[in-house]
Structure 1
Amino acid sequence: MIRNVHERTVAAPAERVGALLDRLGGPDDVVWPVPEWPPLVLDRALAVGAQGGHGIIRYRVALHDPGRLVGFAFDPASGLVGVHSFTVEPSGAGRTRVRHVMQARPVGAMRLLWPLAGRWLHDALTESFLDRVEYAVGLRPRPTERWSPWLRVLRRVSGNSTARRGDRTRMAP
């Protein structure tokens, strides 16, 4: 079983950050890290039942509490059985905790692909997402680690090698 958690506290009110979360997958989405990663595309506006995904990973919106929570259920054909979610919650005066939690069981080829490649790609994508949240509220993200040689190889093999980590001009919304 995979349990993968990423979180960051952002110096902005929860209402402001939550409004950004509600734009996920839409034409005005400024927090999904494109062009660094495959775009998150949904078949309709963000709402329970909308289907889509990013790259080869497919899912449907299973939960949506506007401004607070977006939960996705993986399509098992993607090799994952489970869910992932983004939450926004106040964390003191003018501060917000943004959290991404993935809980899934890898099946089929993903049992091998997750530890070899999926985990590394997922972790980097999620950190890029959190960077974009900070950019979208006018902050400069904390310095992050450079992508490892292994991650750069994985990105090249998966066709996601056009942007380089640290090239912040490409990440700005």
Structure 2
Amino acid sequence: MLSSFLFFMRLWEPTGLELIIPDCCEDKDVVPQKTYFGGQEGVGEYIWYRTKNKLDSSSLMDISDTCDGVVTCGKTLTYTPSLEDVGAYMALYWLPTRADGKCGKPLVSICNSPVNPALPIVSNVRVKKLSSVIYCGEGEYFGGYEGSSLFSWYRETTDGTIILINGANSSTYEVTDSDYNCRLLFG
């Protein structure tokens, strides 16, 4: 009778059966797919790591922020990758825990591909006057690391016509005679 009871108890050990990290994208919540078995699930331990290289399964079990190139990023079930995470791999350590506090064996998983940048967007675009003849276009960029962005300057005439200024393709612009009586636009 006692051996049957012990066998039954072993079946109900808190066990993580599956831990999968979906593809990750900057500023999008990552919710891992996990499967738990072993009685009522309690509050487990979760640790998110960022690593420059995709670790193999043997390295994953020993993961910690003391490892070269590994940084702790979060300690909740879900995680939202930031700009720092773009191009790196996300790994998750999960210690399955039963409601009574008993812990099982940890599982560690890593995403299949590096974190993707969000789509590039620019907000709060504005023109700043640097001197009486030099203006600077500015904006707040989001979406991974900014690459070679394209800049354009336009003239808006008094009748509302908008004309692209040929060759004006940097963030700064020096006013010419053609710009008088026009409004400058940057984009």
| TM category, shorter | under 0.3
Considering fraction of residues, name the structure with more helix.
1
Structure of higher CA gyration radius: 2
Give the TM-score of the pair, scaled to structure 2.
0.22
Larger relative contact order (Cα-Cα within 8 Å, sequence gap ≥ 6): 1
